[in-house]
Structure 1
Amino acid sequence: MGVLFDECAARGTATTAHLDRPFDIAPDGGAEYGAAALAGLVRDAAGWLSAAGAGRGDRVAILKDNHWDYDLLACAAARVGAVPAQLSAQLSPDSLAILLERLKPAVLMTTSGQLERCRAVGIDLTAFAGATVTTDVTAPGAVHLDQLRGGRVPAPQRRGEDEPLVIDHTSGTTGVPKLVVHSTRTIIGELARFEARRMPKIGVRGDDVVATASSYAHGRTFCWTAVVMSMAPREVVILTGQDPNRADPVLRAHPPTIMEGLPASYVRFRPLTERLDNPFRRVRLYISTYDAVHPPMIRAYLNASRQRNPLWMDGWGQTETGPLTFRFHTRRSLARRPAGHDVGRPIPVKTRLRLVDPDTFRPVRPGQPGLVLARTAARCLDYLGESRRWSDKQVGQWWITGDLGVRRWDGSVRLLDREVDRTPEGSCLEVEDVLEDRLPEALECVLLAEPGKPPLPVIITADGTLSTAAWRRACRRLPRMQEPVSLRWDDVPRTGTAKVRRMDLREQLTGSTATCGTGRWT
């Protein structure tokens, strides 16, 4: 990955990257880059990190505003032989302190805003790193990036296939995220190489315009960077925020043929699908990762495409394993109500799934709920600083995902809930699907299970209101629930990938973090 962009430039890759704003590490560099310019920026960044003190075997922590330069900096760290650790700017100061203490980075690349945010609650992030570099303005205890520019660019340092290559963190929906260590073999050899194939319908073509609206502090975009640059589409479009009015002009100028996004990005961009000349008219393939996407959302985007047979590819997996299953949706399949949150079948040759009783770990029959175990060569190396926790999630060669599901007779898997979030009766995910189908005004529906009580429905709308009549219609013939709470999008605590932090939301609304699950495998 340290020489990825150099190799692309040497091959004459003609891909042009269009940014919705300039890179934070190159504010004067404009919003359009070719492979050679990206390679030059990575080389320059390797010089900055080397000048700051990062070298072979060191760790480099990256904590900044959301942008693709997270991955450029990660490639620069790999180039000098260091291990990049990408930390979301959405993490709380307390979580950042814990993660940085585990990392002990030689260099922390961050912003004065992040340093000030943490200092306001008594946490000095500069104390955890050998050197701290800010990308925006100068800050106490830190070196500004401009002071490091123009130095010598060191020669690339290659690391072994099974040595740590990159450290990413889990979403952190139930507490402090885990630091997930991947090697070149797991994240590039097993994940990126499999995806970088010219597969019919879902493979990247030379005439594609590939757009992504993601959280660049997470492992998916590091892998995506390797794939998209290797496949060399005509254009790449980078979206850093979730404001539809800011994304619209970029998407209109470069209408994508492949669109990948966080579920939350799709939620926020949905109003664009209803515009007369919507920017998704050329999309032939939508890709969703990280979290559940409910049928009404998928339907809206498939109908927005003017292609004859657009596909929606819904991937289910984890930071620790990469994708485990894929399911494809079409307009026809969405025309009939899906039976539960079916995540499809294991990826052929790559992954295997097993469902077991969570108490005895004995296999359960098809049709019976069980704890989902996965087997894949892409499994991470470790949790940095929490090796015991990593070991506790293994049963031989099988990985405990922490999800509950049901295997169908055709081999596909229907997810019920995270074990920690489960409800004694039914499935929160399935009820959320139905509620979103019945409440067109809802941006998102979240069902919170509480011990000894019916689940608490939280309905997220644009203005934070929900009429009694609409709720009465929506909950008809559904399992018993408490009276709903309606909130606005910004009222809900979220992770860096905009997943709902259910434990924090439960505490915010009920004063308790108690759940119906054990939380053993979070």
Structure 2
Amino acid sequence: MGTLFDEAAAAGARTVFHLDRPLDIAPDAGTRWSVPELADLVRVTADRLATAGVRAGDRVAIVKDNHWDYDLLACAAVRVGAVPALLSARLEPQTLRTLLERLRPAALVTTSALLAHCPAGAAPVRVTLDAEVPGAVHLAALDATRPCPPVRRSDGDPLVIHHTSGTTGVPKLVVHSTRTLVHKLARFEAVRYPGIGIRRDDVLLNASAYAHGRTFCWTAVVLSTPPAEVVVLSGDDPDTADPLLRAHPPTVAEALPATYVRLRPLTTRLDNPFRRVRLYISTYDAVHPPALRAYLTATRHPRPVWMQGWGQTETGPLTFRFHTRRATLAPVAGATARRLGRPVPGRTRLRAVDPETLRPVRRGRPGLLLVRTAALALGYLAEDERWDAKRVGEWWSTGDIGVLHRDGSVSVLDREVDSVPGLSCLRTEDLLEERLPEALECVVLGGTDGDPLPVVVTADGRLDPGAWKEATNGLPTLREPAVLTWDDVPRTGTGKVRRAALARRLTGTGPAGTGRWT
């Protein structure tokens, strides 16, 4: 990964990258980049990190505003032999401090504003991206005239550290190696598969949370199988994204589920920027049927496909499900959205067991989902006992409750920590969103006592009582809904709802499940 951009440039990659705003590590360099220019930027950044004192084997914590240069900084750190640890700027200050204490980094790369939330002794070397700050060095002021040759490492050594989403508490720090992340995950994806592989004439859109593991893998793939253009969004405001997307309409779109929700108004505009999309990709979280339908009907491509991946930071993708326009328009679409496809052939195996006895359950019965994959991470940094507690012999617990069907496919019902006996919160959310067109999102929170609490997110924080009564017809008993706006809901860096925090705020109680497998 440290020489990825050099190798792509040497191979003649002509991909042009279009950004919605300048990179934080090159604020004056504009929003249009070629591969050779990006290779130069990574080299210069690596030289500056070396000048700051970063050495092979060091951990480098990176926490900044959301943008793709998270991954460029990570590649620069890898180039000097260090191990980058990417931390979301959306972490709560106390959570950020906890993760920095676990990391004990040799260097911290951040912004002047975020530096105020970091402990004074968080790292011996502190580098700011935006301004001169007492006690820190400014990245742009560091000497880049002394080239630092790339440092090679063993494929099994730590390569990069990402944290989990943190929907149920303090995120875990997941350590991946070149073998697990590049050889087992990126290499599998970096094939021009018919229909779903990257084509040389594609225009790729990525609108993601760049501190998380998916985009580091994506960066390796997009440089290995270069398309014609790449469009990078760092935010999810539709009015800001609209001009860039119309100027470079994508043929392949990948975004966070929450970002798909936020950009959905663009699908109904006269000159909608998704008119050329042949392939949509989503990971991280569930995408509800109304969003699937809106995007698949917005494109003019005759046979568009939505590829929905289910996986985790620790494992990479475990299953894939393909949605078509015809299927999303079918009346049963809402009932089948949680069916997440089959395990990746020859790469992953799944098993459902009783959460208490750990004995296998029969096909068609709910159970705790276990996985076997060669892409499993090396572990949790500073939490070995927690990692070991999730191992069941040669299997590893995903922490999800789901059903393995007779045809080999899997349905995920809930996280174990959020599970409610006799009810799938996720399926109930799908049905509510189908029946409430005004809802941006629906969340069903199980509690330690009483009926589940539904939360309906709308644009203005209002909901017609009659519409709610009709929407809940035939559903299990629910409490009266809490109606919130989008910004009222606590979220992770990937836009996921922090269910535990939301439940404590609204009910004063914790999660319904045991939390043993988180």
* TM-score after normalising by structure 1: 0.98
Give the superposition deviation at 1:494.
0.4
Q: Are residues 1:48 and 2:42 paired?
A: no
Summarize deviations over 1:440-491 as a string: whole Å, max 9, x none.
Answer: 1111000000122111000000111111011011111111000001000000
Summarize deviations over 1:260-302 as a string: whole Å, max 9, x none.
Answer: 0000000000000000110000000000000011111101000
User: 1:510 matched to which residue of 2?
Assistant: 507
C-alpha root-mean-square deviation of aligned residues, in Å? 0.9
Q: Verify the 8 A CA contact 1:17 1:34 in the aligned structure 2.
A: yes
Q: Are residues 1:451 and 2:445 paired?
A: no
Q: Verify the 8 A CA contact 1:438 1:474 in the aligned structure 2.
A: yes
Q: Verify the 8 A CA contact 2:51 2:144 in the aligned structure 1.
A: no
Give the superposition deviation at 1:146.
2.4
Q: Verify the 8 A CA contact 1:313 1:328 in the aligned structure 2.
A: yes
Summarize deviations over 1:233-269 as a string: whole Å, max 9, x none.
Answer: 0001100001011111111111000000000000000
Q: Are residues 1:232 and 2:226 paired?
A: yes
2:17 partner SS: strand
Q: Are residues 1:465 and 2:453 paired?
A: no
Summarize deviations over 1:369-423 as a string: whole Å, max 9, x none.
Answer: 1000011000000100001111111112211000000111111111110000011
Matching residue's letter, 2:478: M
Q: Are residues 1:423 and 2:420 paired?
A: yes
Q: Are residues 1:282 and 2:276 paired?
A: yes
258, 261, 264: which one aligns with 1:264: 258
Give the superposition deviation at 1:149.
4.2
Q: Verify the 8 A CA contact 2:161 2:175 in the aligned structure 1.
A: yes
Q: Are residues 1:411 and 2:408 paired?
A: yes
Matching residue's letter, 1:263: P
User: 1:16 matched to which residue of 2?
Assistant: 16
User: 2:515 matched to which residue of 1?
Assistant: 519
C-alpha distance in 2, partners of 1:146/1:335? Answer: 52
2:231 partner SS: strand
Q: Verify the 8 A CA contact 1:126 1:132 in the aligned structure 2.
A: no
Summarize deviations over 1:112-168 as a string: whole Å, max 9, x none.
Answer: 11123x2xxxxx434110110110112232111222143412000011000000000
Q: Are residues 1:244 and 2:238 paired?
A: yes
User: 2:346 matched to which residue of 1?
Assistant: 349
Matching residue's letter, 2:9: A
312, 317, 320: which one aligns with 1:318: 312
Give the superposition deviation at 1:93.
1.2
Give the superposition deviation at 1:107.
1.0
Matching residue's letter, 2:81: G
Q: Which runs of 4+ in 1 moved over 6 A?
A: none
468, 484, 489: which one aligns with 2:486: 489
1:128 partner SS: coil
> Residues 290-439 of structure 1: matches in 2 within 5 Å?
290-336=284-330, 337-338=332-333, 339-340=335-336, 341-439=338-436
182, 185, 191: which one aligns with 2:179: 185
1:125 partner SS: coil
Matching residue's letter, 1:490: D
* TM-score after normalising by structure 2: 0.98
C-alpha distance in 2, partners of 1:425/1:62? Answer: 43
Give the superposition deviation at 1:424.
1.3
User: 1:82 matched to which residue of 2?
Assistant: 82
C-alpha distance in 1, partners of 2:137/2:103? Answer: 20
C-alpha distance in 1, partners of 2:377/2:64? Answer: 24
C-alpha distance in 2, partners of 1:18/1:458? Answer: 37
C-alpha distance in 2, partners of 1:228/1:398? Answer: 31
User: 1:141 matched to which residue of 2?
Assistant: 135
Q: Verify the 8 A CA contact 1:165 1:183 in the aligned structure 2.
A: yes
Summarize deviations over 1:60-106 as a string: whole Å, max 9, x none.
Answer: 11000000000000000000000000000001111111111111111
User: 2:206 matched to which residue of 1?
Assistant: 212
Question: Which ranges of structure 2 fall in alignment gaps of 5 or more residues?
Answer: none
C-alpha distance in 1, partners of 2:390/2:103? Answer: 22
C-alpha distance in 2, partners of 1:206/1:126? Answer: 48
2:454 partner SS: strand
Give the superposition deviation at 1:330.
0.3
Q: Are residues 1:152 and 2:151 paired?
A: no
User: 2:61 matched to which residue of 1?
Assistant: 61
1:269 partner SS: helix
C-alpha distance in 1, partners of 2:143/2:432? Answer: 53
Matching residue's letter, 1:264: A
